[in-house]
């Protein structure tokens, strides 16, 4: 139980005590009023006499039955007040519980929503980070692919050029070999005489000079 | 008879022919020496002259019966052994004699009148010949010819490739 509830209960007990005291004191006030009226009508008596009479009256009024009756009435009233207050307390408790539940629900909902928001934000951030990372990876891979493609193309071109150059360098040998293999046995030297003489004529000066130098 | 006037017939192709002629001339010379020293009535068997010796004596208007002519011829042949330029020519196959004579005639007409030829065989030449002088090699083979025409061959191949690519 909270301190608020304890304070309410103590307040109720104090108020019930005050009500009980008032109820007990009320008949005594009425009898005092009557005594004052009677005293104003009767001739003055001595103080001691008055006290004695009062004592007698008190004993006469507040006899055991009356006191028992008062006690019963007080008890009943107290029980009634206690019952009412218990009802109020129950009602308050119920309302408090309801409010507390609402409050808890609201708070939990709010907290959950905040946590969910944070969670969503975290997920969103993580997702964004993952996307950024993937994007960077994709960009890097694309750059690598482009670089490799360029390198491969360059190497392929270089290889192609090398092959073509080699082919061009060896082309004469290849064709010569092919001719030799294909018609080597059918080539007649006599048919080549004019060609050889023409070649000799073309190289005449160089041959002459070299032969002359060698003599 | 000066060195320049001495003429070699086309039948004399190589140094071995010169050596053979020298040997033959020496045999003739020995015959005549033996003939002088022979006893009367002894049968004489003159050595047979080869076509080559006959040709060379006719070409140079030499009478081999005369000792000074034989001596002159022997001297010329000795000179040729040491001084005649020998050109080595390789062919893909053994050349016919007529073919070789044409080559030799050209060489003696245009290069040196006493040029000799040493024929070699090189099947990889396929066509044409490879001529070697003392310091140089003249490749007149089909391969060299194709090398010279490489640009034209490349053009042909490029044309064929581009036609193939467009199809």
What CA–CA distance (Å, rounded) separates B25 from B16?
14
CA A178 to chain B, closest CA, distance in angstroms equals: 10
CA B147 to chain A, closest CA, distance in angstroms equals: 5
What CA–CA distance (Å, rounded) separates B27 from A84?
174
pLDDT at A194: 85
Q: Encode burial over A181-201: b for 16+ CB neighbours within 10 A, e otherwise.
A: eeebeebebeebbeebeebbe
pLDDT at B27: 85
CA B17 to chain A, closest CA, distance in angstroms equals: 20
Residue of A nearest to B115 (CA): A211
Note the pTM of the prediction, 2 decimals. Answer: 0.54
pLDDT at A1: 57
Contacts with A, B 11-40, CB within 8 Å: none
What CA–CA distance (Å, rounded) separates B92 from B120?
9
| Residue among B85, B127, B140 minimizing CB distance to A187 | B127
pLDDT in tens, B79-105: 888 788 888 999 888 888 888 888 888
Longest dimension (CA), chain A: 198
- H helix or E strand, kind and range, residue A191: none
What residues contact B92, with CB distance under 8 A and at least 6 apart? A180, A184, A187, A189, B121, B122, B123, B124, B125, B126, B127
Task: Flag residues of chain A having pLDDT under 70.
Answer: 1-2, 39, 42-45, 184
Assess whether pLDDT exceeds 90 at residue B142.
no
**CA dihedral (A182, A184, A185, A187) positive or negative:** positive
Could you give the angle at the alpha carbon of B40 between the alpha carbons of B39 and B42, nearest 5°?
75
pLDDT at B1: 45
Assess whether pLDDT exceeds 90 at residue B42.
no
């Amino acid at each position: 139980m909270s301190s608020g509830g304890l304070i309410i209960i103590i307040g109720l007990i104090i108020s019930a005590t005050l009500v009980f005291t008032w109820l007990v004191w009320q008949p005594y006030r009425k009898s005092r009023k009557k005594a004052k009226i009677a005293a104003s009508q009767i001739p003055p008596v001595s103080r001691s006499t008055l006290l004695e009479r009062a004592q007698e009256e008190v004993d006469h009024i507040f006899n055991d039955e009356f006191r028992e009756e008062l006690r019963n009435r007080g008890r009943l009233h107290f029980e009634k007040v206690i019952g009412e207050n218990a009802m109020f307390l129950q009602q308050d408790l119920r309302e408090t519980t309801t409010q507390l539940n609402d409050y808890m629900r609201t708070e939990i909902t709010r907290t959950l929503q905040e946590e969910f928001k944070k969670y969503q934000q975290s997920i969103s951030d993580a997702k964004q980070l993952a996307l950024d990372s993937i994007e960077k990876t994709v960009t890097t891979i694309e750059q690598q692919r482009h670089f490799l493609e360029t390198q491969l193309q360059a190497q392929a071109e270089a290889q192609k050029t090398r092959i073509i150059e080699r082919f061009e360098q060896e082309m004469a040998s290849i064709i010569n070999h092919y001719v030799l293999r294909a018609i080597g046995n059918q080539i007649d030297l006599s048919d080549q005489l004019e060609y050889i003489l023409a070649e000799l004529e073309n190289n005449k000066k160089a041959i002459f000079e070299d032969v002359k130098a060698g003599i | 008879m000066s060195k320049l006037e001495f003429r070699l017939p086309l039948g004399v192709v190589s140094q071995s022919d010169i050596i053979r002629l020298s040997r033959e001339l020496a045999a003739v010379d020995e015959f005549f020496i033996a003939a002088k020293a022979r006893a009367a009535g002894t049968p004489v068997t003159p050595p047979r002259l080869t076509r080559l010796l006959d040709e060379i004596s006719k070409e140079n208007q030499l009478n081999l019966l005369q000792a000074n002519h034989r001596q002159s011829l022997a001297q010329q042949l000795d000179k040729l052994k040491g001084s005649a330029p020998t050109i080595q020519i390789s062919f893909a196959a053994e050349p016919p004699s007529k073919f070789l004579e044409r080559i030799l005639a050209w060489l003696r007409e245009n290069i040196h009148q006493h040029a000799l030829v040493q024929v070699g065989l090189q099947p990889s030449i396929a066509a044409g010949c490879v001529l070697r002088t003392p310091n140089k090699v003249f490749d007149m083979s089909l391969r060299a010819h194709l090398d010279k025409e490489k640009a034209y061959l490349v053009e042909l191949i490029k044309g064929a490739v581009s036609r193939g690519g467009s199809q």
